[in-house]
Amino acid sequence: MTARPLSLYALVAGVLFTAVVLGWDAATPRAALPETLRGGGAAAMSPLLTRIAESFPPPPESAEALTETTARLALTEDELRRSTQQADLATTPHIAALSDQGHDIVLGRVVAVGAPGAAGPERLTIDLGTEDGIALDQSVVAADGLVGRTVRVGRTTSDVLIVGAADLVVGARALDSQLLGTVTPPASGDPAAREHGELTLTTISFGDLRTGEQVVTVGSPDDTPFVAGIPVGKITSVDPPRGRVDVTATLLPAVDIGTLDVVAVIVPGGR
């Protein structure tokens, strides 16, 4: 007699024994089985159940190897994707120009996004800190343009105030008209309503802004908090003048925070 039929008979016997015990308890709830009978049944069935369990073959090594290979492959693909994004970011024209100017480019990842405000999320957290040379009021950029500036720096992580946050004003220049202005979140005094996620560009003098015009950072003294030449967004519409000496326009941010993963912090270096 082979091991498999023996295991099958043992299993049937164990099931029948268990059924008898349960049936006795169910039929005579007030006359519980003596503890000696319960203990004896458990002692008798334990080796049998162990023998049954040992009779089933272990999972093939190929299955374990396949699971491990799948996990390693997923990790490798994620690392490859991140490495590709970092390489693309480092070679983006506006970041490559900053590197040529002597600034240090420190690459990192977004690890958390804060609560949304009127124009979208206002803060995010990156996996860079003082150990990486990061300090307060440094520009944070992505391949598409400006993300924001560092406002809290820990040992291994930093918080970034995002473009469009209520407390962040970015000095900017429209590239075609060369008009200077500021980029802020929408305000109740804007001549035209803004859609969710759109910003307001307000110039400091009157001039001709055009739809589709690119807007970049002017830069700050000592490149803190913003370095110059980083794309901020694109003008999608120009507001009616309404007797104002300045010009306002709707600005679509260059960076989509909702899809952001790899970023770079600009550590000021050369001039």
Residue 83 falls inside a structural domain: no
DSSP notation for 176-209: TT--EEEEE---TT-SS---TT-EEEEESS----
Residue 70 falls inside a structural domain: no
Are 45 and 100 part of one and the same domain? no
Are 16 and 131 part of one and the same domain? no
CATH, residue 117: 2.40.10.340
The tens digit of pLDDT for each residue in 183-223 reads: 999 887 777 778 888 999 999 877 889 999 999 999 999 89
Q: How confident is the model at residue 265 (pLDDT cuts 50, 70, 90)?
A: very high
- State pTM to two decimals: 0.68
Residue 213 falls inside a structural domain: yes
Residue 69 falls inside a structural domain: no
The tens digit of pLDDT for each residue in 97-138 reads: 888 889 999 999 999 988 776 656 789 999 999 999 999 999
Are 105 and 157 part of one and the same domain? yes
Residue 63 falls inside a structural domain: no
Half-sphere exposure of 65 (CA within 13 A, CB side): 3
Domain that holds residue 177: 91-271
pLDDT at 159: 96
The tens digit of pLDDT for each residue in 145-159 reads: 999 999 999 999 999
Are 47 and 121 part of one and the same domain? no
Radius of gyration of the chain (CA): 33
Give the total number of structural domains in the chain: 2
Are 260 and 200 part of one and the same domain? yes
- Is the Cβ–Cβ distance between 239 and 249 less than 8 Å? yes
pLDDT of residue 34 exceeding 80: no
- Is the Cβ–Cβ distance between 207 and 249 less than 8 Å? no
